[in-house]
Amino acid sequence: MFSKTKDPHAAHAAQGQTAQPKRQRSAGVPSIIGGELVVRGTLVSSGDVQIDGKVDGDVRAVALVIGEKAIIVGDLYAEEAVIRGRVEGSIRAHKVQLCATCHVEGNILHEALSVESGAFFEGNCRHSDNPLADAPEAVMPERKTSAAQSIAGDRRPAIAQAADATAR
């Protein structure tokens, strides 16, 4: 019952329980796409992203917030997604929150889903223990890169290489 270890995983293991590892969130400030900005193409971030403008393309981030006036035409991939604006495309995230002001047209694959009263959602939603498992390659950029890994020797798609380069 009482343990001197500060490690919660060790305390649970001592009790015969398995602890779920926590997903890490970025400690830095989020990247923000302002309301006056229009982006065409895929956005990939190894941190948090807030979008208040328009994006024509897929968005991939750890934590994603879609603002009330934002318009996304493409698929979203994230650990956590809070949707307040318009999304025309599928959403794959561990945790999805559809706020009262959102308008979503597309399918949602999630581990946890919450829907506020007034939210508009047209599509199918399906539970998955790991909604990002079948996502396209280079969907979730690695948070930490090895110092020995060089861009020249990297055989991953260019979008993943660019995301890692900006993270350094």
Kindly report, residue by residue over 16-69, the tens digit of the pLDDT. Answer: 443 333 445 556 788 999 999 999 999 999 999 999 999 999 999 999 999 999
Judge whether residue 139 has pLDDT over 70.
no
Farthest CA pair distance, the chain: 56
Both tokens assigned to 39:
């982006």
Give the range with max mean pLDDT: 21-25, 78-82, 135-139: 78-82
Judge whether residue 120 has pLDDT over 80.
yes
Percent of the chain past pLDDT 90, that is, above it, reads 60
Domain assignment of residue 42, yes or no: yes
**Residue 102 domain boundaries:** 25-167
- Choose between 1 and 90: higher pLDDT: 90
Domain assignment of residue 135, yes or no: yes
Domain assignment of residue 151, yes or no: yes
What CA–CA distance (Å, rounded) separates 88 from 58?
10
Domain assignment of residue 20, yes or no: no
Domain assignment of residue 95, yes or no: yes
* Domain count within the chain: 1
Q: Which of 26, 22, 78, 90 is nearest to 51 (CA)?
A: 78
Domain assignment of residue 59, yes or no: yes
Query: What's the confidence (pLDDT) of residue 19?
Result: 39
Domain assignment of residue 92, yes or no: yes
Instruction: Calculate the CA dihedral of residues 31, 37, 41, 46 and round it to 10 degrees.
Output: 0
137 confidence band (pLDDT: 50, 70, 90): low
Domain assignment of residue 134, yes or no: yes
Strand extents, DSSP E, the chain: 31-33, 38-40, 43-44, 48-51, 54-56, 59-60, 63-66, 71-73, 76-83, 86-88, 91-98, 103-105, 108-115, 120-122, 125-127
